[in-house]
């Protein structure tokens, strides 16, 4: 089954009264369990595409199905629920809640999904152990290093066992060694059967991803599998 099915997706922004086309007819299918890197130069539409795939934004035209559901027919609450249960986000700047601890940050989407206090405590502990931060669970986000914050963000993204993880430049704010740890974690996720889409400038990251979609001026100009490279 396809996790993502996009046909002729376009996205046009209004910038200072000027219409700017960020995507100009992108068609993309992502199957369950795939590990995909979206690459391209700045302004090529990578982040915009990722936001459409995560239901953070809606396309100006075209058809997008996430987990078999057409996005354009969904209400805001339905789309929010879809993001909560089916999609996990990892942002470049981590975007943890600074006032919450690592454990509470992971528990946040679980609480929103109505998971009971005890169960979400257990699940958060498991996830923090999974990302190697069992001993940092009671530290505030502001007390963690960049790599630790990103690992907490990954644990948060995994909280509700989503069908799709979307990462936007996940190593962009990290040094090489820490970035490598995050990539290893992504590999581990892929091996565990999680569907992963990563937007990156990082050639090192892109090179180790099985499928690579290259965007140029809002269009896909290459969609290649590692075996073909």
Partner 1 sequence: MTWALVVRSLVRHPVRTLLVIAGIAVAAALLLDMVMLAGGMERSFSRMLLSRGYQIRLSPKGTLPFDSEAMIPAITPILEDLRDDPDIEQVGPVLATSLHVSVGDSLLTVVGYGVDPAAQGLYELESGTDLAPGDSTGLVVSEPAAAAAGWRLGDTVRLQGRLDPQSARAAVERVVVVRGVVRFLYDARGQRSVGADFRLVQSLGRQPDVDPASMVMVKVRADDRVDAVAERIAAAHRTVEVNSVAALVVQFRSRLVYFQQLSLILATISLVVGVLLVGTILTITVSERIGEFAVLRGIGVRRARIVRLVMAEGAVLTGVGAIGGVVLGLVTARYLDAILTSFPGLPAAISFFVPERTAIARAAIAVFVAGVAASGYPAWLAARAPIAETLRADAE
Which stretches of the chain bind partner 1, using CB under 8 A? 47-48, 51, 54, 56-57, 76-77, 80-85, 87-89, 91-93, 95, 97-100, 104, 107-109, 111-113, 156-157, 160
CB of 84 to partner 1, least distance (A): 2
- Shorter beta-carbon distance to partner 1: residue 120 or 211: 120
* Furthest C-alpha separation in the chain: 51
Instruction: List residues bridging with 196 in a β-sheet.
Output: 35, 165
Nearer to partner 1, 105 or 211 (CB): 105
CB of 95 to partner 1, least distance (A): 4
- In the complex, the smallest distance separating the C-beta of residue 80 from partner 1, rounded to whole angstroms, is 5
Is 215 in a helix, a strand, or coil?
Answer: strand
Task: Report the nearest approach of partner 1 to the CB of residue 103 (Å).
Answer: 11
Closer to partner 1 by Cβ: residue 77 or 229:
77
Q: At what angle do helices 102-112 and 146-158 cross, to 10 degrees?
A: 20
Q: Which is nearer to partner 1, 13 or 129 (CB)?
A: 13
- List % helix, strand, coil for the chain (3-state, nearest 5): 40, 30, 30
Q: Answer yes or no: are the C-beta atoms of 167 and 189 closer than 8 Å.
A: no
Q: Minimum CB separation from partner 1 for residue 189, in Å? A: 17
Residue with smaller CB distance to partner 1, 82 or 211 = 82
Query: Which of 121/132 has CB closer to partner 1?
Result: 121
β-strand partners of 15 = 18
The residues, any chain, with a CB within 8 Å of residue 133's CB and separated by 6 or more, are 102, 148, 151, 152, 155
| CA 77 to the chain's CA centroid | 20
User: Least distance in Å: CB of 159 to partner 1?
Assistant: 9
Least separation in angstroms between residue 94's CB and partner 1 is: 9
Q: What distance in Å separates the CA atoms of residue 53 and residue 47, rounded to the nearest whole number?
A: 10
In the complex with partner 1, the residue whose CB is nearer, 109 or 218, is 109
């Amino acid at each position: 089954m396809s996790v993502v099915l996009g046909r002729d997706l376009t996205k046009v922004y209004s910038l200072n009264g000027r219409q700017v086309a960020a995507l100009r007819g992108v068609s993309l299918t992502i199957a369950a369990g795939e590990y995909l890197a979206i690459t391209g130069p700045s302004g090529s539409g990578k982040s915009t595409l990722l936001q459409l795939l995560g239901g953070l934004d809606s396309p100006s035209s075209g058809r997008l199905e996430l987990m078999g559901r057409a996005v354009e027919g969904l209400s805001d609450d339905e789309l929010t629920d879809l993001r909560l249960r089916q999609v996990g986000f990892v942002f470049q700047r981590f975007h943890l809640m600074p006032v919450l601890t690592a454990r509470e940050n992971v528990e946040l989407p679980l609480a929103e999904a109505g998971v009971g206090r005890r169960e979400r405590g257990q699940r958060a502990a498991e996830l923090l152990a999974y990302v190697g931060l069992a001993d940092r669970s009671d530290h505030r986000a502001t007390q963690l290093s960049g790599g630790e914050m990103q690992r907490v963000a990954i644990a948060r993204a995994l909280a509700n066992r989503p069908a799709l993880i979307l990462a936007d430049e996940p190593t962009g704010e990290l040094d090489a060694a820490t970035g490598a740890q995050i990539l290893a974690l992504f590999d581990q996720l892929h091996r565990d059967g999680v569907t992963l889409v990563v937007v990156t400038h990082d050639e090192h990251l892109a090179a180790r991803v099985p499928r690579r979609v290259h965007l140029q001026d809002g269009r896909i100009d290459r969609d290649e599998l590692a075996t073909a490279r």
